[in-house]
Amino acid sequence: MPGGGFVRLPGGSVVVALTLPRPSGELGNVRVLVHAANRARALTRLRNLGMRAVYLRGNAQPPTPDEVTAVLHHPDGLLWRGAPDHAQELWHPIRALLRGA
Protein backbone atom coordinates (compact mmCIF):
# COMPACT_ATOMS: atom_id res chain seq x y z
CA MET A 1 0.00 0.00 0.00
CA PRO A 2 1.52 3.34 -1.00
CA GLY A 3 2.32 5.67 1.85
CA GLY A 4 5.11 7.63 3.34
CA GLY A 5 6.38 9.97 5.94
CA PHE A 6 9.22 12.25 6.91
CA VAL A 7 11.63 13.04 9.70
CA ARG A 8 13.13 16.44 10.46
CA LEU A 9 16.87 16.33 11.16
CA PRO A 10 18.62 18.44 13.81
CA GLY A 11 20.08 20.72 11.12
CA GLY A 12 16.60 21.60 9.82
CA SER A 13 16.62 19.46 6.66
CA VAL A 14 14.25 16.53 6.18
CA VAL A 15 14.34 12.97 4.92
CA VAL A 16 11.16 11.93 3.12
CA ALA A 17 10.32 8.26 2.55
CA LEU A 18 7.61 7.26 0.09
CA THR A 19 6.30 3.87 -0.97
CA LEU A 20 5.27 4.18 -4.62
CA PRO A 21 4.26 1.91 -7.49
CA ARG A 22 7.16 1.05 -9.79
CA PRO A 23 7.33 3.65 -12.58
CA SER A 24 8.21 0.95 -15.13
CA GLY A 25 4.76 -0.61 -14.78
CA GLU A 26 6.10 -3.80 -13.18
CA LEU A 27 4.19 -5.28 -10.30
CA GLY A 28 5.24 -4.24 -6.83
CA ASN A 29 6.22 -1.09 -5.06
CA VAL A 30 9.45 0.72 -4.31
CA ARG A 31 10.54 2.65 -1.24
CA VAL A 32 12.07 5.98 -2.26
CA LEU A 33 14.15 8.13 0.09
CA VAL A 34 14.85 11.82 -0.52
CA HIS A 35 17.02 14.20 1.50
CA ALA A 36 16.16 17.87 1.01
CA ALA A 37 15.90 21.23 2.76
CA ASN A 38 12.15 20.74 3.37
CA ARG A 39 9.24 18.46 2.41
CA ALA A 40 8.17 20.58 -0.55
CA ARG A 41 11.67 20.49 -2.07
CA ALA A 42 11.90 16.74 -1.55
CA LEU A 43 8.68 16.21 -3.51
CA THR A 44 9.81 18.71 -6.17
CA ARG A 45 13.03 16.73 -6.65
CA LEU A 46 10.96 13.63 -7.45
CA ARG A 47 8.53 15.49 -9.70
CA ASN A 48 11.44 16.96 -11.66
CA LEU A 49 12.59 13.39 -12.34
CA GLY A 50 9.24 12.56 -13.96
CA MET A 51 7.33 11.22 -10.97
CA ARG A 52 4.49 13.71 -11.41
CA ALA A 53 1.84 12.22 -9.12
CA VAL A 54 3.93 12.18 -5.93
CA TYR A 55 2.24 13.43 -2.77
CA LEU A 56 2.94 13.08 0.94
CA ARG A 57 -0.24 12.65 2.93
CA GLY A 58 0.38 12.30 6.64
CA ASN A 59 3.29 10.68 8.39
CA ALA A 60 2.18 7.04 8.63
CA GLN A 61 5.43 5.49 7.35
CA PRO A 62 8.33 7.75 8.35
CA PRO A 63 11.86 6.69 7.41
CA THR A 64 13.60 4.32 9.79
CA PRO A 65 16.96 5.30 11.32
CA ASP A 66 18.67 2.90 8.87
CA GLU A 67 16.94 4.59 5.93
CA VAL A 68 17.97 8.04 7.18
CA THR A 69 21.58 6.88 7.48
CA ALA A 70 21.52 5.39 3.97
CA VAL A 71 20.22 8.54 2.27
CA LEU A 72 22.52 10.87 4.21
CA HIS A 73 25.57 8.89 3.10
CA HIS A 74 24.61 8.93 -0.58
CA PRO A 75 25.99 11.83 -2.64
CA ASP A 76 22.71 12.41 -4.54
CA GLY A 77 20.43 12.11 -1.51
CA LEU A 78 17.98 10.03 -3.60
CA LEU A 79 17.72 6.25 -3.17
CA TRP A 80 15.26 3.42 -3.73
CA ARG A 81 14.77 -0.31 -3.18
CA GLY A 82 11.92 -2.78 -3.53
CA ALA A 83 9.07 -2.66 -1.02
CA PRO A 84 8.00 -4.18 1.24
CA ASP A 85 11.39 -4.05 2.88
CA HIS A 86 13.78 -6.50 1.25
CA ALA A 87 16.53 -6.62 3.87
CA GLN A 88 18.92 -8.36 1.45
CA GLU A 89 18.42 -5.81 -1.31
CA LEU A 90 20.85 -2.92 -1.32
CA TRP A 91 19.78 0.68 -1.90
CA HIS A 92 20.03 1.85 -5.51
CA PRO A 93 20.58 5.33 -6.96
CA ILE A 94 17.38 6.81 -8.37
CA ARG A 95 18.83 6.71 -11.92
CA ALA A 96 18.61 2.90 -11.85
CA LEU A 97 14.86 3.04 -11.18
CA LEU A 98 14.11 5.64 -13.83
CA ARG A 99 16.17 3.84 -16.46
CA GLY A 100 13.67 0.96 -16.41
CA ALA A 101 10.69 3.33 -16.87
User: Is 101 inside any structural domain?
Assistant: no
Q: How many structural domains compose the chain?
A: 1
Residues near 40 by beta carbon (within 8 Å), at least 6 away in sequence: none
Whether 101 shows a pLDDT value over 60: the answer reads no
pLDDT reported for residue 56: 86
User: Is 12 inside any structural domain?
Assistant: yes
Provide the 10 A C-beta neighbour count for residue 15.
24
Per cent of the chain over pLDDT 70 is 90
DSSP string, 30-99: EEEEEEESSHHHHHHHHHHTT-TT----SSSSPPPHHHHHHHHTSSSSEEEEEETT-TTSPPEEHHHHHH
pLDDT reported for residue 67: 93
Decide if 6 contacts 63 (C-beta within 8 A).
Answer: yes
User: Is 100 inside any structural domain?
Assistant: no
Query: Mind listing the pLDDT tens digit for each residue in 15-41?
Result: 999 988 877 677 788 899 999 999 999
> pTM of the predicted model, to two decimals?
0.87
pLDDT reported for residue 64: 93
Range of the domain at 46: 3-95
